[in-house]
Amino acid sequence: MDILVTGGAGFIGGHLAERFARNGHDVVVLDNFDPYYDRRLKEHNVEVGRESAADGDGSYRLVEGDVRDDQLIAELVADADYVYHQAAQAGVRADIEPRKYHTVNVDGTLNVLEAARRSDIERIVFASSSSVYGNARYLPYDEEHPTTPVSPYGASKLAAERYAMVYSDRYDIPVVSLRYFTVYGPRMRPNMAISNFVSRCMNGEPPVIYGDGSKTRDFTYIEDILDANLALLGEDAADGEVVNIGSSDTISIEQLAETVRDAVAPDLELVYTEGYDIDAEHTHAGIEKAHDLIGYEPSRTIEAGVAEFIEWYRANREWYEPLVCGE
Ligand SMILES: NC(=O)c1ccc[n+]([C@@H]2O[C@H](COP(=O)([O-])OP(=O)(O)OC[C@H]3O[C@@H](n4cnc5c(N)ncnc54)[C@H](O)[C@@H]3O)[C@@H](O)[C@H]2O)c1
């Protein structure tokens, strides 16, 4: 199968490209190596992808380019059977211009959809986000929960998702939008609670909690994200649908900091600082639809996944830590 992974040098796209190449597919990765975080982490992901193609039966090609480049996207989509569209300005951050979320996440997605309209694509799988829900009216969120995002990032993901649904209905393009709930695991990007807490504790520094730590999150282990995406290579039951992908387990940010602290440096005290108000209070994934449509079952509780990530971090600290701690 010819598979285009946009954002394939990033955290999730990097894992997808690695797995597809190992499984014998011909993978093209498109990424612009956006300087949002250290380029060397993305280069490492590319190396891992290349090695997995060499170890398996697949192939791996990197195209350094931008999803906002409609001509380039048209050429790449024309050659693909599947597009796993992960490229985005990811993350809910107050210091990123709203327009950047819009141009990359909405215009970039529209380029992929337009290109698909003129090609013979088997399926587009779009990386959406739990941020489309905004503050919870009830929990866990099912896919019918109102979508009232509270950040420009969430608004951009919702707009892109809606375009995907319209292209699916109107132009009969098989598109599935997976609403990921905060993803973590090996090679995760910096500036996320789990990687921050682990890095700080490993260095004898207290974990810093923004706000009072009472926000709760559903964190999803990267392997589960891979399982959901891989299922969509063959399965058409989810075409035209939005589907939550989470662990369906939750933890408060304070409990998460304590869990990491207890595992890594039990003598440290937690530190609290002023919170961002751009983020939803609570997230919790209802995953019945994912189970019914694609047989999705999360494999780990958050505690088990965090323990696994800490173990991976220790084994990979030498190369990973300088890239996430900004050295
Ligand atoms: N990690 C999470 O917790 C999470 C949660 C919900 C949704 N998502 C979504 O999943 C996808 C992957 O997220 P991630 O955590 O791997 O983030 P990431 O930042 O590691 O990966 C995104 C990749 O896209 C690339 N990119 C950015 N702008 C681009 C552009 N204009 N053209 C081409 N490439 C571009 C970046 O260089 C990066 O390598 C994103 O769409 C994100 O919004 C992630």
Q: What is the mean pLDDT of residues 264-291?
A: 91
| pLDDT tens figures, 11-52 | 999 999 999 999 999 999 999 999 999 999 999 999 999 999
Query: What residues are in contact with ligand 1 under a 6 Å CB criterion?
Result: 7, 9-13, 30-34, 42, 66-68, 86-90, 104, 108, 127, 129, 180, 182-183, 189
Whether 275 has a pLDDT exceeding 80, the answer reads: no
Residue 277 pLDDT grade (very low, low, confident, very high; cuts 50, 70, 90): low
Could you tell me which CATH number the domain at 2-183+221-247+283-299 has? Answer: 3.40.50.720
Of 60, 141, 153, 313, the active-site residue reads 153
Query: Residue 242 above 80 pLDDT?
Result: yes
Determine the pLDDT at residue 280: 82
* Residue % of the chain over a pLDDT of 90: 93
pLDDT, position 94 = 72
Domain boundaries, the chain: 2-183+221-247+283-299
What is the per-residue pLDDT across 87-129, written as a single tens digit (0 to 9) for each?
999 987 777 799 999 999 999 999 999 999 999 999 999 999 9
Q: Give the closest residue (by CA) to ligand 1 atom 25.
A: 7
pLDDT band at 327 (very low <50, low <70, confident <90, very high): low
Look at residue 132 in the predicted model and tell me its pLDDT: 97
203 Cβ contact list (under 8 Å, min separation 6): 325
Ligand 1 centroid to 7 CA: how many Å? 6
CA distance 253 to 261: 12
**Interval 165-202: pLDDT, tens:** 999 999 999 999 999 999 999 999 998 999 999 999 99
Best residue among 43, 66, 86, 156 to mutate for probing ligand 1, ranked by most atoms within 8 Å of CB: 86
Tell whether the model's pLDDT for residue 245 goes beyond 70. yes
Q: What is the pLDDT of residue 195?
A: 95
Buried/exposed code over 298-322 (b: 16+ C-beta within 10 A; e: otherwise): bebebeebbebbbebbeeeeeebbe
- Over range 4-16, report the average pLDDT: 98
| Minimum CA distance residue for ligand 1 atom 23 | 7
What is the arithmetic mean of pLDDT over 69-73?
98
The residue-averaged pLDDT of 283-288 equals 97
φ and ψ at residue 156, rounded to 5 degrees: -70, -40
Catalytic residue check, 153: yes
Q: What is the pLDDT of residue 56?
A: 83
Categorize the per-residue pLDDT at 137 as very low, low, confident or very high, splitting at 50, 70 and 90.
Answer: very high
Specify the pLDDT at position 57: 86
Query: Residue 258 above 90 pLDDT?
Result: yes
Per-residue pLDDT, averaged over 226-255, amounts to: 96
The pLDDT of residue 114: 98
